[in-house]
Amino acid sequence: MPPPTTDCLRADARRNRDQIMDAAARAFADVGSDVPMDEIARRAGVGVGTLYRRFADRESLVVAVVRSSLDALLQKIRAAAEDEPRAWGALVQSMSFSHELRLTLPRTADLPPALAAAVRADAGTARLRAELTELVERLVAAAQQEGSLRADVGPGDVTHLFALVYRSAPTRAEDPDDIVTSRALAVILDGLTTGGNTDLPGRPLETGDLRG
């Protein structure tokens, strides 16, 4: 018997886990976060027992799915930050990712309060959120430096607008081009551009201002 490797499950167990998370994400999108565990198992093609071997309870499963979504998002933004020469371009591309990612991610923001709290309490999710925050802060500063992003907004403002667009994107592949979201995004980006803007109330928001 091979010693249990620290981080990685055996290949098949890993595959199993991924299958379940995929099925769960789709089921959450189709039915809601209260979809029966049995149905998730069925969609994943495993028995409920197996599902429970991988995830202690529904909460754990939801948290894992959210974590995985956040992770994917983070990777994408990281890549954009590296590829794009200008910070503004990276921001634009990042916000467009929501568009691209929307099909595989559940509306994790639309969780019933109890599950939302569980997600907030999760350390892994917190860490990802911190990395995301740091990244956005860096991009925002750089974009303002280069004069493309209006100066009176802070990373908190950008993140919040980002979340708005992200949450509104449909989770089903009904309209693959999703022109509605694209246009909304373009209007918002226009509003974030420097030049000729009206005054915003209050002061530029930090990321920490968001869960006020």
| Residues that bind its own copies in the complex, under the rule CB under 8 A | 30-34, 107, 109-110, 112-114, 153, 156-157, 160-161, 163-165, 167-168, 174-175, 179-180, 182-184, 186-193, 195-202, 205, 209-210, 212
The least distance separating its own copies from the CB of residue 2, rounded to whole angstroms, comes to 27
Per residue in 176-191, is it b (16+ CB within 10 Å) or e — as a string?
eebeebeeebeeebee
Q: Is 177 left (phi over 0), alpha (psi -120 to 50) or beta?
A: alpha
Residue 151 binding partner per list DNA, its own copies, none, with a CB distance cut-off of 5 to 8 Å that depends on partner kind: none
Shortest distance in whole angstroms from residue 42 CB to DNA: 8
Which of the listed partners (DNA, its own copies, none) does 175 bind, with a CB threshold of 5 to 8 Å by partner kind? its own copies
Helices 123-145 and 87-101 meet at what angle, rounded to 10?
Answer: 140
113-121 vs 58-83: helix crossing angle, rounded to 10 = 60
**Do 155 and 173 touch, CB atoms closer than 8 A?**
no
User: If contact means CB under 5 to 8 A according to the sort of partner, which of its own copies, DNA, none does residue 19 touch?
Assistant: none
30 binds, among its own copies, DNA, none (CB under 5 to 8 A by kind): its own copies
Least CB distance from residue 115 to its own copies, whole Å?
Answer: 8
Among its own copies, DNA, none, residue 164 binds (CB under 5-8 Å by kind): its own copies
Q: How far is the CB of 113 from DNA (least distance, A)?
A: 13
- Percent helix / strand / coil, the chain, rounded to 5: 65, 0, 30
Residues forming contacts to DNA in the complex (CB under 7 A) are 10, 12-13, 16, 34-38, 45-50, 52-54, 56-59
SS3 string, 18-44, reads: HHHHHHHHHHHHHHCCCCCHHHHHHHH
